[in-house]
Amino acid sequence: MMIDCRNTMPDQAPKWTRYLRVKEILNQASGNTNPSYQGYGRFWELPLPEFLEVVIYGVRMIAPVRGTPAPAGAAPAKPSALPMMPGGSCCHGPAPAAPAAPPPKPGRGAASGLIIGLRGQCPFDGTQFPRLPWDGSPVSDSDIQFIQDWIDAGCPADDAPPASAGESSVMARARGDEEHPRSAAPVNQYHDDSGTPKARMNINALSPEELSRYRAAIAKMKSYDSFYQDERSFGYWARVHANQCQHGWEEFLTWHRVYLYHFEQQLQDIDPTVTVPYWDWTDNYQADVPASIFDTTQSDPSAKTDNGIVPAAFRCWIDQAGLDRLKAGGKVPADVLGALDGVLNQQFNSGLRLFLGAKIDYGKNPVSDRAILDELGVINPLWHRLRWPGGDQNLIFEAYPTPEDVQRILQLTNFFSFGSGPMNNHFFGALENIHNLIHNFSGGANPNYQMGHNPWDRDGEPQSGDMVQAGVTAYDPIFWGHHSNVDRLWAEWQSLHPGVEPDDPSAVLPPWSLSVGDTFNIADFGYEYLKSAHLYQTNNQVPMARFKSAMTPAAPQVLADHSSAEVRLHKVKYRTRAGFHIRVFLNSPDAGVSTPTRGNPRYVGMLNTFTGFCVGGPGHCDPPPETRRKFDRRHRPHKTPGNYRLDATAAVAALMQQGETAFQVNLVALNTDGSPATDALLLDAVSLVFKE
């Protein structure tokens, strides 16, 4: 029996108080830093009675109520001497005494070391200590005043703030009353910040910003091409393939994995969010094969060259800015500029087809032609002038890989049959055979080549596209998407056949020092393969009773062709309390502890934590620092924040059957007795990912 649980009433959320707001302000200002504070750590997170008694280096953080003695053993604080007073400060000589009566003593809030430290007053002005919070961001004057007013009100634990102050969206999100927006930054920005493996994603599913960043990084590498020996240049890495590439034997996959890794590192020197996206050759595959492989709208149906389709990211077009630059350059005649204006922003699978679409006579004016082709490369650095994808439809129709072909080779159990033979019996494996076809298809033959001319004339009209020739193939940016897909398929094959590897793991892969055995785990190279990912970052200092992400549409090609889906929780903090549980739902905005799970198609599953109370002193169970000292070789710290993953494939499929194409992730934290766990769940982010 299927249950519709979308309208279940949410559990009663804890009341928001000024005390919670004080902790929120201090946590937000502290960010991910964890200063010792003389062993107290984040002292404001101590139980309130302990917080009120904290003394750090002789300065009491919350001034006592007047007439209250200092705690036994504590260094006597002199709060009345700490704040800056008219005419002087605690760190400089007093101004000459005025005849007027002495100024009144400051209130409890102003006399508190916490307020003095947040304002950057002596001794927190750099003379003895830095401004509070240490290593964090300055707190705004309005928030400091809020904390001071709370102290002056007696540091209450459970009073609500004035209605006029408004309610924090952070707290509303922590209760599940407000949605967490999808991260505006690329998903790999989070992975770069958190030091976790980045995602190589399907180039057809990249967000506009992710694709723009990839193009910009490629363009930056190309800008160094005039410096022949500069390893930052695009051409440098193309020549590495020309001189060192391995094909037709067992090092085909291992060598290219290391090659892609080094190229990707150069990209990340420019933009650390960029990875090499993959081109899944079967993405647009249809039962009517010619319609998915061949271009019937921009080429002659009877043509046997320059008639193929490539992903939109690699196509060419002329835009208004490019047209303006061509006008300013003075090399393109007015009639040709007018023809280009007629195809403004239309995408073409090759430069030659753009000329045909605009009805420009290619070859009539070589200077004009070259100016246009150069501009196409500026507009889209992933397009390549020497690329004419396609071929004889009958030949390609018989050989172009179908999804079933790919699945068939993934089921091969022998590495050599899959990935090419050993040195003493080398042969092309099944994956490399398909790889060869795609090289020939995507590079294609040049329709303008004239027999008898130099077939290698890359400055003129060569016989074929660069992708066809191993010596220059990596000059075409589509090469990198093609080989990223080859590497993805090997990674998928590895997961299906663990431990089945090449013959000689100790062999070195020149020109690098890495060995074949070093390539077996892609996580060691800092990446994984995902078709698409939706990431929602959270405030990791505020416990979450419920989580609700924004409703995010999935791209049609992602919905149409994904093998699995996963909900991920990133960097869940260890909590010094009894273990708790996290129920995960999709598209259930009102989910709570009472929401049914059995028979509920929106229920993904439950994650279970294993924690406990702290056995050490203050700070013992705090999260460890994000980075280690250079020579710290100790084991992974016990309280390192953990990551959780839960298979959401069935829930996604059930929602798709109901016609839903957008997804929201919902979390509910609960104790083992079934009550809401309002103080338990602290984490960095939640994501919903789709795999190829």
CA distance 67 to 53: 15
Write down the mean pLDDT value for the chain.
88
Alpha helices (H) along 380-473: 393-399, 403-410, 415-419, 430-443
Strand ranges in 89-169 using DSSP code E only, listed in sequence order: none
CA distance 449 to 622: 69
**Four-residue CA torsion sign, 167, 170, 176, 180:** positive
Point out the domain boundary residue: 525, 548, 563. Answer: 525
Sole residue written with tokens 């934590």: 609
- 161 pLDDT band, cuts 50/70/90, is low
Q: What is the pLDDT of residue 407?
A: 94
- 219 pLDDT band, cuts 50/70/90, is very high
Residues 26 and 150 in one domain: yes
Q: What is the mean pLDDT of residues 626-655?
A: 91
Residue 206 lies in a domain: yes
Strand ranges in 103-234 using DSSP code E only, listed in sequence order: 198-201
Residue 597 lies in a domain: yes
- Cα of first residue to Cα of last residue in the chain, in angstroms, is 31
Instruction: Check if the beta carbon of residue 482 is closer than 8 Å to that of residue 442.
Output: yes
Element (H, E) at 491: helix 478-496
| Residue 448 structure tokens | 């303008």
- 543 pLDDT band, cuts 50/70/90, is very high
Residue 486 lies in a domain: yes
- 163 pLDDT band, cuts 50/70/90, is very low
Instruction: Check if the beta carbon of residue 308 is closer than 8 Å to that of residue 389.
Output: yes
**Four-residue CA torsion sign, 12, 16, 20, 24:** positive
Domain count, the chain: 4
Q: What is the pLDDT of residue 85?
A: 33
Residues 570 and 683 in one domain: yes
In the chain, pLDDT over 90 holds for what percent of residues? 66
Three-state SS letters, 29-85:
HHCCCCCCCCCCCCHHHCCHHHHCCCEECCEECCCCCCCCCCCCCCCCCCHHHCCCE
| Residue 370 structure tokens | 């070259």
Residues 367 and 399 in one domain: no
Residues 546 and 674 in one domain: yes
Residues 210 and 80 in one domain: no
| Residue 688 structure tokens | 């919903």
Q: Which are the contacts of 26, defined by CB distance < 8 A and separation ≥ 6? A: 42, 44, 133, 139, 147
Cβ-count burial 377-416 (b if 16+ within 10 Å, e if not): bebbbbbbbbbbbbbebeebeebbbeeebbeebbebeebb
- CA nearest 439: which of 399, 408, 470? 470
- Sheet of 685-691: strand order equals 532-537, 685-691, 564-572, 642-647
Q: What is the mean pLDDT of residues 65-78?
A: 46
Point out the domain boundary residue: 476, 502, 525. Answer: 525
* In the predicted structure, residue 11 carries a pLDDT above the cut 50: no
In the chain, pLDDT over 70 holds for what percent of residues? 89
Instruction: Check if the beta carbon of residue 57 is closer than 8 Å to that of residue 74.
Output: no
Lowest-confidence range among 300-304, 310-314, 357-361?
A: 300-304
| Residue 605 structure tokens | 């599953």
Residues 271 and 402 in one domain: yes
Q: What is the mean pLDDT of residues 427-436?
A: 94
- CA nearest 343: which of 361, 369, 316, 325? 316
Q: What phi and psi values does residue 225 have, to the nearest 5 degrees? A: -65, -25
| Residue 498 structure tokens | 């663990």
CA distance 284 to 320: 29
Output the CA angle 164-166-172, nearest 5 degrees.
155
Three-state secondary-structure class, residue 139: coil
Residues 448 and 494 in one domain: yes
- CA nearest 691: which of 568, 547, 582? 568
pTM for the whole structure: 0.76
| Residue 485 structure tokens | 């897909």
- 304 pLDDT band, cuts 50/70/90, is confident
Residues 41 and 143 in one domain: yes
| CATH code, domain with 483 | 1.10.1280.10
Q: What is the mean pLDDT of residues 95-107?
A: 52
Residues 137 and 77 in one domain: yes
- CA nearest 469: which of 461, 484, 483, 458? 458
Residues 90 and 65 in one domain: yes
Point out the domain boundary residue: 507, 525, 543. Answer: 525
User: What are the Cα distances from residue 130, in Å, to 110, 114, 563, 662?
Assistant: 18, 12, 53, 48
Residue 128 lies in a domain: yes
Q: What is the pLDDT of residue 87?
A: 37
* In the predicted structure, residue 4 carries a pLDDT above the cut 60: no
Residue 342 lies in a domain: yes
- 59 pLDDT band, cuts 50/70/90, is very high
Q: What is the DSSP letter of 535?
A: E
Sole residue written with tokens 């006399």: 111
Instruction: Check if the beta carbon of residue 465 is closer than 8 Å to that of residue 443.
Output: yes
Q: What is the pLDDT of residue 612?
A: 86
Cα Rg for the chain, rounded, in angstroms?
A: 32
CA distance 518 to 505: 8
Residue 143 lies in a domain: yes
- CA nearest 527: which of 206, 268, 217? 268
- Choose from 137-141, 390-394, 624-628 the range with maximum mean pLDDT: 137-141
Q: What is the mean pLDDT of residues 96-118?
A: 73
Residue 112 lies in a domain: yes
Q: What is the pLDDT of residue 15?
A: 60
Instruction: Check if the beta carbon of residue 200 is closer than 8 Å to that of residue 527.
Output: yes
* In the predicted structure, residue 140 carries a pLDDT above the cut 80: yes
Sole residue written with tokens 């160094």: 224
Residues 495 and 641 in one domain: no
Residue 304 lies in a domain: no
Q: What is the mean pLDDT of residues 291-302?
A: 74
Which conformational region is residue 605 in: left (phi greater than 0), alpha (psi within -120 to 50 degrees), or beta? left
Question: Omega of the bond prior to 625 within 30 degrees of 0, cis?
Answer: no
Domain of 76 in residue numbering reads as 18-166
Residues 23 and 93 in one domain: yes
**Four-residue CA torsion sign, 521, 524, 525, 526:** positive
Three-state SS letters, 626-658:
CCCCCCCCCCCCCCCCEEEEEECHHHHHHHHHC
**Four-residue CA torsion sign, 203, 208, 209, 211:** positive
